[in-house]
With several copies, the nearest count.
Chain A
Amino acid sequence: MDSSKGINVDMRVRIGALELRNPVMTASGTFASGKEYADFVDLSRLGAVVTKGVSMKPWAGNASPRIAETASGMLNSIGLQNPGVEAFCAKDLPWLATQDVPVIVNVSGHSLAEYVAVAERLDSESAVDALEVNISCPNVDEGGMAFGTDCTSAADVTRAVRAVTSKTLIVKLSPNVTDVTEIARAVEAEGADAVSLINTLLGMAIDTDTWKPKLARSVGGLSGPAIKPVAVRMVWQVASAVSIPVVGMGGIMNAEDAVEFMLAGATAVAVGTANFVDPGATMRVVDGLEQYCRLRGLDRVSAMTGAVSR
């Protein structure tokens, strides 16, 4: 930081036991394990890498087409395709361990037992700094979102994972619910160290030429700028309902969007769809956040968290 440019900004934020050098994470599923972005992103300048969802056994994911573009957004129905936790530990983790960046592994499951098994398997991996338990994937038939749309099952998954992991535990919430604060409180009560939100909104698009859904799976998850107002609202609601940190995401394209989420109550943010638009998007958000703080005379980024006036 060049002092001639003004004050030094303390960019650090804390999520559970984890101190991040800045609040900018990658959103799960949009950054793989980071290797693909290494030509565009200096991983050591990220707050954290959040990996693609990892399950116990390999998952093939859904049929194609798996994406569709929509106004200011996109639908995806990837369906958590992944090679399973063993392959992840064998291939991705060793590489990530060399990258000087906190690693948050996104944990998927078809069943409560699978969530627990993945969490347990990862607990012994020193390269893993935190788990983000995805109870909000709209793209799998069993499990996924079903766990995140009901307080009891959300609490059950959190409790069970909490019991087997000593790592920082983040639970990722679904926006496809009547009252997101209720779910947030339920997972907080079971020992989640933080919540992250939002996962994608369940959506659909139909091809008016072929009269078929644009996604082979019919429905998928909506992400991108289109959903930002819904995401900001939910972060704002949840931040005042729980006392654990909130990781905000949904449509963040630039630093100003990240500021909006922090003002709404997010301690950290994640950049998802924007990585597809600009593979270096995370770097621009990091730099832009720091620049914003400097221009506003803020000496720490965390001063923005929840600072929106009521």
Chain B
Amino acid sequence: MTLPAETERKLLERVTVLANDRVTEGVGLLVLESPRVARVVRPGQFVHLRISTGTDFVLRRPFSIHRVEEDRLHILYQVLGTGTRALAEKRRGEEMDLIGPLGHGWHIPDGVAHALLVAGGLGAAPMGMLAEELSAAGVAVTVAQGAPCADRLVGRGVFDATARRVETATDDGSEGQRGFVTALVESLLVSDRPDIVYVCGPEPMARIVTAQAAAASVPCQVSLERLMACGIGACLSCVVTTRDGQRRACVDGPVFDAESVVWDTSEIPPKH
């Protein structure tokens, strides 16, 4: 199938907050009016958002595009630290600037008929647009989604609307199977026989899914998070170790061929 190619040109766009609502405890949905980026962004790409204009915290924050609706970008975000706390304070009408679209998103190889999307926690964020594009292209989509509890199964709307099948696992059993999403993946790889696996979530989980897909001889792509300063390939803060050497998550990723990733200790430590 032919999908539009990723744009080469990065834009600096001044955008307006159209909505910023709480989705569940600690998770928000930010809707930005960003016509130039909305037009060209591809699934799995991200934007680098300037949240503070003071000097208190100087770095931008990277966020995947969850969905695009006309000229609006939807961003699902988790409130973790300084930046996301400040982001949660943004009100309708406020302006920010972003750089985007950035990075190398999900790749949909020719001939894919059935895709398994594996999302752990906020790993659902970069997968909304992917599910939409796949289903629009006639690919059957199965989603395996895990979270600590039912509330945290974010992004359900788009998955329910696009996927043929959505399976869930929660740590506390409040919805779906109790336990880890990897148990679902194990059985779905057998029952659904996907041609491809897309995964995003905590690195230990992504690593297991990578191994599961490899064992089932199914190609797998993974979206990785790294600390990013520039977001555009210049500073080398975001490197991922791969079989082909060190790659920059911001331009060579964030989506990588999972088999090429050398899992090391460069992941971002989880927060309490």
Contacts and interface: CB of A to CB of B under 8 A. Distances in A.
A61 B239 CA distance: 10
B227 A279 contact: no
Contacts of A30: 230, 234-235
B216 interface: no
Interface in B207-247: 226-227, 229-237, 239, 246
Given A66-B227, A69-B59, A29 B235 contact: yes
B230 A74 contact: no
A138 interface: no
A66 B236 contact: yes
A74 B229 contact: yes
A275 B230 contact: yes
A contact residues, range: 35 or more
A207 B269 CA distance: 9
A203 to B, nearest CB: 14
Contact of A224 (B58, B239, B265): B58
B55 interface: yes
B230 A66 contact: no
Interface stretch (B8-16, B37-45, B68-76, B159-167): B8-16
Interface stretch (A185-193, A208-216, A259-267): A208-216
A209 B10 contact: no
Nearest to A34: B234
Contact of A277 (B9, B58, B226, B265): B58
A66 B231 CA distance: 14
B269 A72 contact: no
A6 interface: no
A279 B12 contact: yes
Nearest to A67: B237
Contacts of B264: 63-64
Contacts of B11: 39
Contacts of A278: 12, 50
Contacts of A275: 230, 234
Interface in A267-310: 273, 275-280
Interface in A222-269: 224-225, 253
Q: Residue among B227, B264, B272 with the most chain A CB within 10 A?
A: B227
Interface in B1-43: 9-12
B55 A71 contact: yes
Contacts of A276: 58-60, 229-231, 235
Contacts of B239: 61, 64, 66, 81
Nearest to A273: B58
Interface string B94-130: 0000010000000000000000000000000000000
B268 interface: yes
B188 to A, nearest CB: 32
A76 interface: yes
A259 B43 CA distance: 41
B31 to A, nearest CB: 24
Interface string A42-71: 000000000010000000110111111101
B266 A63 contact: yes
Contact of B55 (A60, A64, A66, A253): A253
A136 B188 CA distance: 54
A228 B55 CA distance: 12
A111 B262 CA distance: 31
Nearest to A208: B272
B56 interface: yes
Contacts of A65: 226-227, 266, 268-269
A81 B264 CA distance: 18
Q: Residue among A29, A216, A224, A277 with the most chain B CB within 10 A?
A: A277
A209 B272 contact: yes
A89 to B, nearest CB: 19
A95 interface: no
A31 B234 CA distance: 6
B97 to A, nearest CB: 8
Nearest to A68: B227
Contacts of B57: 69, 71-72
Given A209-B269, A276-B229, A39 B235 contact: no
18 contacts: A30-B234, A39-B11, A60-B246, A63-B266, A65-B226, A66-B227, A66-B236, A66-B237, A67-B59, A67-B227, A68-B227, A69-B57, A69-B58, A71-B56, A72-B58, A81-B236, A216-B266, A225-B55
Q: Please list the 7 inter-chain residue pairs (A to B) with the smallest Cβ-Cβ separation, ordered nearest first.
A: A64-B266, A32-B234, A67-B237, A36-B234, A71-B55, A276-B229, A225-B55
Interface of A: 29-32, 36-37, 39-40, 52, 60-61, 63-69, 71-74, 76, 78, 81, 207, 209-210, 212, 216, 224-225, 253, 273, 275-280
